[in-house]
Structure 1
Amino acid sequence: MLRKFLVAGAALALAGCASVPQSPVQQAAPAVNPARIDATLKNFTDAGKLAGASALVTVDGKEVYSGAFGYSDREAKKPMARDTIVQIYSMTKPITGVALMKLWEEGKFRLDDPVAKYIPELANVKVLQGLDAKGKPILVAPVRQMTIRDVTRHTAGLTYCGGDIRPEMAQFCADKPMKPEYTLDEFARRLGQIPLEYQPGEQWKYSFGVDVQALLVQRISGMPFDQYLKKTVLDPLGMKDTGFYVPPEKQNRLMAVYDVGTDGTLTRENDADALSFPTKRWPLTPGGYGLSSTLDDYSRFARMLLGEGALDGVRILQPSTVRLMSTSVLDPAVTDRIWLPSKGQVGFGIDFAVRIAPPKAADESSGAVGEFFWDGRNYTLFWVDPKNKLTAVFFTQYVPFGRVPAHKAFRDAVYEGFDPSAVAPKP
């Protein structure tokens, strides 16, 4: 009898504990205010600052916001929609990084392997030290070889042959190594003839490093990069509208691209130029740009990362790999980081910027410590916030990057009801 009494008492105690509600602190979820986000995006499109804008936000795997405003084609009055396809440019980079790290998980390479082990075209690259008295380049041997780890964090010393190159590099970039008509192999051959801007590990320098990653995937896997990406990342995640080529039956969903003048006037770019990459099958399948996608597709990618490599029962990466990618690995001694500090209090992991401190100034975008993110040339943006179990994707299509400050406005609207430490101080 005593034993029965004790067992019954224990059962009642357990039942009582189970029925006690969690404290408000445990139950409380960050409050996303859809009306505030709606107003923010609508203000940009109603004022004509953006032709169209859309966004998708999830918290703890559940959609808490979706909205689309303005036009994907302003001239044809075609509304921006949830399934509008946009060119994501550098938001291709994190997807490339995931593909590369799948091979790393399989033991196919080590992060500290020399890149030249797999891409011998880069074995004899020199470093541009400067110019001599006659204006001729001084080329020296690298103090060490660039590694795969270097190309994942932009510390390889490689260039991007863009507007932020050192002036003395211009002569080497007159004929850019990457064009749509080149294959990745031809790109590597041409890149191997261009010196490094800096010694490997010396500076953070945005570069062709992720395109090198794409060729690493191709060489190590033995499969064309785009096919490997489709087979191991895009198809398993159900990213059915994401790829380097948008087929004719989907091209009417592509958003036009607009130039924003210094006076704020929007001018549509010529479609033949602005939409040429996604509407033709090119030999080039770059790792640093080139994919087009939809809100839902990219949100699935972001939610996979939030799920530490898994989504809807499909595992893409191991949790430890996602944590490695989303942890800043920049040496504090690497103080030269060109425009990276403009992204906020951030470091850099593997193909992601990583927030390492809360916003400290009113002009800094809202965000939580530990979030990781990246954006794209045409002003697309995504981030993953593990602290708040949040993912966000923002789409528009305009250049030049940053002329209309919609990223900050969108972030501020998303974090309005969150922990104050995630929000920049008021001016």
Structure 2
Amino acid sequence: MQRFSLPTLFLLLFFVVVSPVQAQFATVKPAAAGFSPERLSRVDALLQDHVDRQQVAGVVTMVLRDGKAVHHKAFGQMDPEMNQAMRTDAIFRIASMSKAVTSIAVMMLYEEGRFQLNDPVYRFIPEFKDVTVAETAAEMPAGMPYYTVPAKRPITIRHLLTHTSGLTYGYGMAEETYREAGLVGWYFADKDETIGEAIRRMATLPLLAQPGDRYQYGYSTDVLGYLVEQVSGMPLDQFFAERIFKPLQMHDTYFYLPAEKANRLAPVYGLTDEGKLVKTEANDTTDYLHGPRKCFSGGAGLLSTASDYGRLLQMLLNGGTLDGVRLLGPKTVELMHQDHLGDKYPAYPGEGFGLGFWVLNDLGKYGELGTEGAYGWGSAYYPIYWIDPKERLIGIIMTQLRPTNGLALNRLFQRSVYQALVK
């Protein structure tokens, strides 16, 4: 039997307790977590079928119940062109799943008393003091797509959290104005400027609705990211790393990837109109690895793994705490996944919108398997996640698919998980 000196034993204990591998989730047999093993195998069949039919290149799943992994598997290939197998620690562009991280950061500062949710944003970003709104009339002069009027009320932090600020992703009647400002679309990774520079320029452009009047998905969370910088006095990447990722032991979540992890970044594939799976990424891998590394998009800029993101979600499901670390109070988390919009949220019947997530309000209107009170979001690259407090359940599916050609795999995955839950 090998013997170790006392210092060596302490060192071994250190790595067991805090190493990135050990910081992940314990596994549990499906039956012990209330799942039918036979029914849960339908998840595997579903995902393997989509891989075999070349609808996706590869997929990583994570299903957690009571904080333990019931299903954490890799299917297919990370990069079929290179014959590179998918791996459970693959790193994915999570795009709008970044919004949950930014919303958490905002609510952490809210708990510290730095602001009220109904405070005007201009108190922290003065450029938003006198915003205008684009409007149109039945008869407009040729070449004049809109005119502007003063906003009836200031944009508040709550408006940003609920996407009722009047901001879109630059699309709409003022699109050409946004395009001239370099602000159309959600992608910031290639910008050779800070997020603050981009947001201050954005504040001079017209909104597409009066603040508070209606839900419009767009740059609101990117503005929140700059708000976090202004209030905390820290760059957004530093705030995330020090206040969220390090405490939660999220070792593989970044805005820009370290060189030594480049081989784990899954390429983007997409489905053509004819249904053929092809590699579609252009320069974004270069941007995330070798780009300017200056523009931290709180709305859509992060890279992560299924395990890392699962830790963030488990913290929320636990009421703001994980492994002895508390980021938020339970009442704050409760506020975040209440419906704040009602009928103003038009995306799916039966859903509302909270402070950063869709919220399932009415299962009958929703018309699919789920639980009232569940909440979640997704990504332009196709991953989705949801948190189900009543069932103590988290589901994540990670892949890189853009364009999708209408593929419904992410929703089918959610259905397959729920149909396997038997107690």
Aligned to 2:9: none
Matched, 1:246 2:251: no
Aligned to 1:92: 98
Question: Paired residue for 1:63, among 50, 63, 69?
Answer: 69
Aligned-pair CA distance for 1:124 = 1.9
> What 5-or-longer segments of structure 2 have no aligned partner?
1-31
Taking structure 1 as reference, are residues 224 and 39 closer, same or farther at Cα in structure 2, changes over 3 Å only? same
| 3-state SS of paired residue (1:276) | helix
Q: Is the 8 A contact 1:256 1:274 kept in 2?
A: no
Q: Is the 8 A contact 1:169 1:197 kept in 2?
A: no
Q: Is the 8 A contact 1:354 1:373 kept in 2?
A: yes
Aligned-pair CA distance for 1:402 = 6.2
Output the CA distance in 1 between the equivalents of 2:342 and 2:143.
Answer: 33
Question: Paired residue for 2:415, among 405, 408, 412?
Answer: 412
Deviations 1:344-384 (A, max 9, x none): 521000111111111547xx543211011010010011110
Output the CA distance in 2 between the equivalents of 1:249 and 1:191.
Answer: 35
Output the CA distance in 2 between the equivalents of 1:274 and 1:359.
Answer: 41
Q: Is the 8 A contact 1:359 1:367 kept in 2?
A: no
Q: Sequence identity, in percent?
A: 36
The structure that has the greater radius of gyration is 1
Matched residue type, 1:133? P
Deviations 1:65-123 (A, max 9, x none): 11111100111111111101110000000011001110000000110000111001121
Aligned to 1:348: 353
Aligned-pair CA distance for 1:36 = 1.2
| 3-state SS of paired residue (1:204) | coil
Q: Is the 8 A contact 1:41 1:54 kept in 2?
A: no
| 3-state SS of paired residue (1:217) | helix
Output the CA distance in 1 between the equivalents of 2:305 and 2:368.
Answer: 24
Q: What pairs up with 1:22-421 in 2 under 5 angstroms?
A: 29=34, 31=36, 33-130=39-136, 132-136=140-144, 137-161=146-170, 165-177=171-183, 180-270=191-281, 273-280=283-290, 281-332=292-343, 334=344, 337=346, 340-341=347-348, 344-360=349-365, 365-401=368-404, 403-418=406-421
Output the CA distance in 2 between the equivalents of 1:31 and 1:199.
Answer: 50
Output the CA distance in 2 between the equivalents of 1:196 and 1:231.
Answer: 34
Deviations 1:15-34 (A, max 9, x none): xxxxxxxxxxxx99454743
| 3-state SS of paired residue (2:148) | strand
Q: Is the 8 A contact 2:376 2:387 kept in 1?
A: yes
Q: TM-score, normalised by structure 2?
A: 0.86
Output the CA distance in 2 between the equivalents of 1:417 and 1:34.
Answer: 5
| 3-state SS of paired residue (1:63) | strand
Matched residue type, 2:135? Q
Output the CA distance in 1 between the equivalents of 2:35 and 2:364.
Answer: 18
Matched residue type, 1:403? G
> What 5-or-longer segments of structure 1 have no aligned partner?
1-26, 421-427
> Aligned-residue CA RMSD in angstroms?
2.0
